[in-house]
Structure 1
Amino acid sequence: MRFYRKYKKLLWLIAIGCFSSSCGSYFSQPLDTQNARIGETTDATYRLRSLPPPIAPAHIGVYKFEDQTGQFKQTEAGSTFSNAVTQGGTTILVKALEDTNWFTIIERENLDNLLNERQIINSTRKDYAVQTNTQQQPLPSLLYAGILVEGGIVSYDTNVLTGGAGARYFGAGGSSKYRQDRVTVYLRAVSTKNGEILKTVYISKSIFSQAVDASLFRYVNFKRLLEAETGFTRNEPAQLAVKEAIEKAVEALIVEGIEVGLWFPQGGEPVASQMIENYRNEKEVAERTDVYQREFLDRRSRWRFDVGAGGTYANNDLPNPDYEYSITGGLRYNFSPFVGIYGTANKYRIKNANALNREFASTDFNLEYTVLPYEKFSPTIYAGPGINYASNFEEIDLKFQAGLSLEYLISPSFGLKVYGEYNATLSDQLDYVISGERDDQYYKFGAGINIYLGNNQAKENSPKFIKRREARELKRMNKLESQETVTSIDTLSRKRTNPINQ
């Protein structure tokens, strides 16, 4: 009770902070019925509507775009007979194709209904012609599709990623949970002329669910119990996720169709090249991103220079070891994102209070392993042999060292690190005392900065690097245009000064 009174304000601030990030959902709870509204749009919808128009719309037909998973919705009691994925994939696909204005869509899903209705019209016109003794007016011919768009929803994976956090103390606390599902669609274009599959695209979309709750259960007085709880759950609609995945698949199919010459945008080659370049850049990012949305971007260059400073702590034959300084500088070369060789030059002192304070130098050669090369934060493990120098390089001893460093990249070129290292020398005379069966040892620790030399994928994908590359490309194109202009003028001048042309 004393704890609650003392930290009551702090507990309330924590509770408010837990809900502040999602207060929009919490304070927008429906309290009454809602009117029907026009369907929601997604980011993919806006991209489809903003595509450059085509030279001419392509005639396409859509027969069926179905749920091919056969999966039923999961509940805490098991599965139900309700499908996990919408069964209206064809309708969503037709709407997405219509939003692009790139296609003339031909009805094929309910073709039987269309043919029956045309028969009724023909029969009615025939009866009318007989009754009025006039000529029957024929119906226009049905359009035919040059390309069929087919595919389906091929997977719906639940609980791809789950997690949460929570805390409770003396009956007061809260928790947050999240879950990530995943839906995958395939879309292909088929030529009706020869049945050739012209293009196939594959799109996946994550579906996010979140639950936040807080509760209080406490005796505030004798025979007075306070119990309160609140919370909310937010689930991304699966239908909207399927809609966005299908729309993104249509966008991808349009751009890949431009690449192989199925259709072409208005504006000519510059517009087409820009659309293809943007799509390739997006595809390159997607191909190095895993299912958990982690981008496998090589963030570290092949060459790295680093400096650091810290301290040492002796583990030798003398009593009262103490801390002393150490400085280090190194150079690393990466054979791969994970493995590299690492050489360092070091200067340090070893100290035992009132007994020893001696200076050393060393050169180390290590094999280094980066645990998470595609992340900004990564541990690194290294080990190898080294050479220890003392008394102005008159005493030389072999040693072995192993260490662990933690690095965080503040940019594609610079990283901050802290490190700890164990050093075992093959000599028992570093402290001038030979005692026991174990040679002298010491620990080294500190912090430093890593400087990455040369390009890496993180640098090449940074906005600054992209702007420089575009500027260089623009400069090169302007230079080529200038050379072509000079060449044309020079050719025209030679023709005018040639006696044959006079």
Structure 2
Amino acid sequence: MLQNKILILAFLASFLLSSCGAYFNQPLGVEQARLGEETSLNDQLKSLPLPKEPLVAGVYKFRDQTGQYKNVEQGTSWSTAVSQGTTSILLKALEDSRWFVPIERENVGNLLNERQIIRNTRQQYSGAKKNNQPALPPLLYAGILLEGGVISYDSNILTGGAGARYFGAGASARYRQDRITVYLRAISTSNGKILKTVYVSKTVLSQAVDASIFRFVKLQRLLEAETGFTRNEPVQLAVTEAIEKAVETLIIEGVKDNIWFVKDDNEKQALLDRYEADVTQAESTELYNRLLKKRRSSNSVGITAGGAFIDGDFAESRLTGSFGASYKHAFSPAFGVSGAINGFALKNEGVFSDSFVSFDFNGELTILPKDSFSPYLTAGVGSYFTTALDDANLKFQYGLGFEYMGFQNIGIKIFGENNISIADDLDRTVAGKRNDHFWRFGIGLNYYF
């Protein structure tokens, strides 16, 4: 018995960890220094079309303005949640884009002091040849200034997990999501006008997975084992990716508004088309990465298959088959009306059995009409009669379902529905204090056209 449970636990652990590269690549020794990792947006930034003329840009200060400290489960941490070297990250992103010539302004005092030392040294040691010494070249001045910073670090905007434990053996998974927000603006040095302001956000994900067993295998023999891993997305890489996206957005919006220009005009339209796709997706995405867009058209047809059982005057109700077809028209993304024809059988073992057809007219409320996955509620009236076309009766019905738009124009749904007859002779018997009911449930497909 114990061996079976251990095998089950081992299978569960291997299932949980099969896709977790961090677990199977644990550091076992000292690693050498290497070049820093590139973000997923770095190649995209480097592949931007070349500018007609690079812009000389100065960055005096682009720093963490959040004042946020790292979250710790116990005690207090005085370490900041965001790197204090974001100016250096921005300068690297400007250089990688090839659209800017970054000049030193964050520590310009050090630069001016060094130039003064050069002048003094030349004057002191040049002697009579001092008039022949070349003058220091002038410093570049900025055409635009770039300002802004990391203005928000929101902790635990989304947390959750799942787990199970049975007789001392179990596993669990947890996650936490933080959010970084970056603002970047370009300012003309000739008149002080703010040319463009952009805003970018990036989430930071932390995950933990563990599995353990704690059992007495026999008297005074205790088995205890555990495994797991935790993976935290580096905040520095998240900040770098957000800044690189801000630089890319600043460049493209400047091209769009004719503030600066692409060297090859043939590449401009492709660049703007890609950016418009990003804008459309951003406008349709809410805080928790919910992509909100119109997924369901006004008209649809559907088919269903499942089961039915009667809740009437007799015991021992048996599950039988059910199928149907429907048409729905939506007056708004959330509300519509539908008509359906359903065939089903009802049976009480050894007492009652018959086949029925029903016509149903429902109002349908879709709870999350712009999400790919949405629950929905139905309620309405209908009529049912036997396949021999007799004993027609009215009924009321209400139900709950879930629909997933797994493919374009096609929704996959599961549903359950309670049907309340206005008569008590559905099972050919009048007894009890309430009318007969029957339940239908199943799965189906909706095609939106």
Q: Give 2:238's aligned residue.
A: 241
- Decide whether the 8 Å contact of 1:187 with 1:200 is kept in 2: yes
Q: Structure 2, unaligned stretches of length 5 or more?
A: none
Q: 1:427 to 1:277 in 2, by over 3 A?
A: same
Q: 1:47 to 1:219 in 2, by over 3 A?
A: same
Q: Take 1:11 and 1:350, find their aligned partners in 2: how far apart are those partners?
A: 43
- Decide whether the 8 Å contact of 2:57 with 2:103 is kept in 1: yes
Say if 2:62 is the partner of 1:65. Answer: yes
Structure 1 residue matching 2:293: 3-state secondary structure: coil
Q: Give 1:185's aligned residue.
A: 182
Q: Take 1:412 and 1:406, find their aligned partners in 2: how far apart are those partners?
A: 17
Q: Take 2:351 and 2:437, find their aligned partners in 1: how far apart are those partners?
A: 16
Q: Take 1:90 and 1:261, find their aligned partners in 2: how far apart are those partners?
A: 27
Q: Take 1:225 and 1:438, find their aligned partners in 2: how far apart are those partners?
A: 57
Say if 2:401 is the partner of 1:370. Answer: no
Aligned counterpart in structure 1 of residue 268 of structure 2, from 242, 266, 272 = 272
Say if 2:172 is the partner of 1:153. Answer: no
Aligned counterpart in structure 1 of residue 80 of structure 2, from 83, 90, 113 = 83
Q: Take 1:28 and 1:319, find their aligned partners in 2: how far apart are those partners?
A: 59
Q: 1:127 to 1:421 in 2, by over 3 A?
A: same
Cα drift, residue 113 of structure 1: 1.9
Q: Which amino acid aligns with 1:364?
A: D
- Decide whether the 8 Å contact of 2:50 with 2:99 is kept in 1: yes
Aligned counterpart in structure 2 of residue 14 of structure 1, from 9, 12, 24 = 12
Q: Which amino acid aligns with 1:336?
A: S
- Decide whether the 8 Å contact of 2:420 with 2:438 is kept in 1: yes
Q: 1:329 to 1:32 in 2, by over 3 A?
A: closer
Q: Give 1:499's aligned residue.
A: none
Q: Take 1:328 and 1:53, find their aligned partners in 2: how far apart are those partners?
A: 60
- Decide whether the 8 Å contact of 1:125 with 1:137 is kept in 2: no
Q: Which amino acid aligns with 2:298?
A: R
Q: Give 2:439's aligned residue.
A: 443
Structure 1 residue matching 2:237: 3-state secondary structure: helix
Say if 2:150 is the partner of 1:122. Answer: no
Cα drift, residue 35 of structure 1: 2.3
Q: Which amino acid aligns with 2:412?
A: L
Supply the RMSD in Å over aligned alpha carbons. 3.1
More moved, 279-288 vs 27-36: 27-36
Query: Which structure shows the bigger proportion of residues in helix conformation?
Result: 1
More moved, 385-394 vs 108-117: 385-394
Cα drift, residue 167 of structure 1: 3.6
Q: Structure 1, unaligned stretches of length 5 or more?
A: 454-502
Aligned counterpart in structure 1 of residue 419 of structure 2, from 409, 423, 426 = 423
Q: Give 2:135's aligned residue.
A: 138
Q: Give 1:305's aligned residue.
A: 301
Q: Which amino acid aligns with 2:103?
A: I
More moved, 98-107 vs 443-452: 443-452
Cα drift, residue 68 of structure 1: 0.5
Cα drift, residue 368 of structure 1: 0.6
Identity across matched positions, percent = 50
Mapping of residues 309-348 of structure 1, within 5 Å:
309-316=305-312, 326-348=322-344
Q: Take 1:325 and 1:433, find their aligned partners in 2: how far apart are those partners?
A: 22
Cα drift, residue 440 of structure 1: 4.6
Cα drift, residue 170 of structure 1: 4.0
Say if 2:369 is the partner of 1:385. Answer: no
Q: Take 2:440 and 2:218, find their aligned partners in 1: how far apart are those partners?
A: 57
- Decide whether the 8 Å contact of 1:380 with 1:404 is kept in 2: yes
Structure 2 residue matching 1:86: 3-state secondary structure: coil
Q: Give 1:288's aligned residue.
A: 284
Q: Take 1:13 and 1:436, find their aligned partners in 2: how far apart are those partners?
A: 51
Q: Take 1:280 and 1:92, find their aligned partners in 2: how far apart are those partners?
A: 26
Mapping of residues 464-475 of structure 1, within 5 Å:
none
Say if 2:252 is the partner of 1:255. Answer: yes
Q: Take 1:442 and 1:151, find their aligned partners in 2: how far apart are those partners?
A: 64
More moved, 394-403 vs 413-422: 394-403
Q: 1:187 to 1:445 in 2, by over 3 A?
A: same
- Decide whether the 8 Å contact of 1:300 with 1:412 is kept in 2: no
Larger Rg: 1
Q: 1:397 to 1:187 in 2, by over 3 A?
A: same
Q: Take 2:221 and 2:383, find their aligned partners in 1: how far apart are those partners?
A: 73
Q: 1:68 to 1:403 in 2, by over 3 A?
A: same
Q: 1:44 to 1:381 in 2, by over 3 A?
A: same
Q: Give 2:400's aligned residue.
A: 404
Say if 2:106 is the partner of 1:109. Answer: yes
Structure 2 residue matching 1:42: 3-state secondary structure: coil
Q: Which amino acid aligns with 2:160?
A: G
- Decide whether the 8 Å contact of 2:56 with 2:144 is kept in 1: yes
Q: Take 1:5 and 1:319, find their aligned partners in 2: how far apart are those partners?
A: 42
Using the size of structure 1 for normalisation, the TM-score is: 0.79
* Per-residue CA distance 1:177-222 (angstroms, 9 max, x = gap): 3222221111111122222222111111222222233444444565
Using the size of structure 2 for normalisation, the TM-score is: 0.88
